[in-house]
């Protein structure tokens, strides 16, 4: 028995776009493709999709899911992931304590020191991001990093909260446009990308090359790409292409 991509999407509550993405990266090829170009799935593929969704629920990235399903030692992969989850739990505990102290201050308690505002945020990730930028784009990237640190060093809590709220608003609006199938060069898309560019400029000022490079980083880095999940799909490539168009036409 075989099911069309639409039937599998309906049964699994996974979008057809996601199923096509899984096919494009070799994670879940269909059993066969009809003369009409439609993908069809048999029981073997449906069972594999069930395994993919289970592993995704455990928090595994698609690259790790592929390793598990394609024969890599599952026990080793899961042990490594368990260690990561334990580390992440400790980090979230620290972050929770930071938020609790902030709430106490806002309720009239002792003032929280500025350096405590970022307790629990992953400084090692920030260092990796900066090192990757320098590796990708050369020593010139250090100027952007220095500019960002200079601009942000005197931020208040209100500045930091406003910065993050702007990103959440931008990400929400981009997700809505992506889900609606808007083209990367549509006026509505480019308007939100312009907001994104001006938001980036609050911390550093990219030119055409570096803004395009940032879009590439959103796609190439798993740690960035995970921030672009939308309803079981990922819009990182779409955002990158929209940013590239913006850079080429406006910067």
Average pLDDT, the chain: 78
62 or 221, which is more confident: 62
Mean pLDDT of 218-247: 85
What span, in angstroms and rounded, lies between the C-alpha atoms of 123 and 114?
Answer: 16
Q: Kindly state the tokens that stand for 21.
A: 């993405």
Q: 133 and 238 share a domain?
A: yes
Question: Which residue did the predictor score with more confidence, 58 or 202?
Answer: 202
User: Is 63 in the same domain as 141?
Assistant: no
**126 and 243 part of one domain:** yes
Cβ pair 5, 49 in contact under 8 A: no
- What pLDDT score does 246 carry? 94
Considering only residues 216 and 104, tell me which one the structure prediction assigns the higher pLDDT: 216
pLDDT-derived band at 28, boundaries 50, 70, 90: very high
Statement to judge: residues 142 and 197 lie in one domain? yes
* Structure-block tokens of residue 5: 């991509």
Is the same domain home to 38 and 154?
Answer: no
* Window from 38-42, 137-141, 228-232 with minimum mean pLDDT: 137-141
The per-residue DSSP string of 17-36 comes to HHHHHHHHTTSS--SEE-TT
Domain match, 138 and 67 both: no
Count of beta carbons in the 10 Å neighbourhood of residue 16 = 15
Q: Taking residues 42-53, what's their average pLDDT? A: 88
How far is Cα of residue 127 from the mean position of the Cα atoms in its chain?
Answer: 18
* 33 shares a domain with 115: no
Q: How confident is the model at residue 133 (pLDDT cuts 50, 70, 90)?
A: low
52, 71, 90 — which closes off a domain? 71
Same domain, 42 and 63: yes
Judged against a pLDDT cut of 90, whether residue 132 lies above it is answered with no
Q: Poorest-confidence range of 26-40, 89-103, 192-206?
A: 89-103
Q: How many domains does the chain have?
A: 3
Spell out the alpha helix ranges (H) of 180-235.
Answer: 187-200, 208-220, 222-225
Domain co-membership, 211 together with 228:
yes
Q: Tell me, what's the pLDDT at 190?
A: 94
Confidence of residue 195 (pLDDT cuts 50, 70, 90): very high
CATH number at residue 20: 1.10.1660.10
Helices 236-250 and 157-179, interaxial angle, to 10°?
Answer: 100
Q: Highest-confidence range of 55-59, 108-112, 199-203, by mean pLDDT?
A: 199-203
Of 71, 86, 113, which marks where a domain is finished? 71
- Model-level pTM? 0.49
Do 41 and 109 lie in one domain? The reply is no
**Domain range for residue 82?**
73-121
250 against 158, higher pLDDT:
250
Pick the last residue of a domain from 100, 121, 142. 121
Please give the average per-residue pLDDT across 198-206, as a whole number: 83
Contact status, residue 61 vs residue 224, Cβ threshold 8 Å: no
């Amino acid at each position: 028995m075989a099911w069309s991509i639409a039937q599998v999407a309906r049964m699994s509550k996974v979008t057809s776009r996601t199923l096509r993405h899984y096919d494009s990266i070799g994670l879940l090829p269909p059993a066969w493709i009809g003369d009409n170009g439609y993908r069809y799935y048999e029981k073997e593929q449906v069972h594999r999709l069930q395994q993919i969704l289970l592993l995704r629920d455990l928090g595994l990235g698609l690259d790790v899911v592929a390793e598990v399903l394609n024969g890599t030692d599952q026990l080793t992969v899961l042990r490594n992931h368990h260690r990561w989850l334990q580390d992440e739990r400790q980090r979230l505990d620290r972050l929770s304590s930071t938020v609790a102290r902030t709430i106490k201050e806002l309720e009239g308690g002792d003032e929280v020191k500025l350096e405590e505002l970022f307790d629990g945020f992953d400084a090692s990730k920030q260092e990796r991001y900066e090192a990757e930028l320098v590796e990708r784009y050369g020593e010139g990237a250090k100027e952007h990093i220095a500019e960002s640190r200079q601009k942000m060093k005197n931020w208040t809590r209100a500045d930091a909260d406003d910065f993050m709220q702007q990103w959440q608003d931008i990400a929400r609006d981009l997700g809505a446009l992506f889900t609606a199938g808007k083209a990367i060069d549509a006026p509505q898309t480019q308007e939100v990308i312009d907001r994104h560019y001006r938001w980036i400029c609050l911390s550093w000022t990219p030119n055409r090359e570096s803004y395009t490079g940032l879009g590439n980083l959103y796609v190439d880095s798993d740690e960035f790409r995970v921030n672009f999940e939308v309803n079981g799909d990922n819009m990182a490539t779409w955002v990158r292409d929209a940013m590239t168009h913006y850079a080429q036409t406006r910067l």
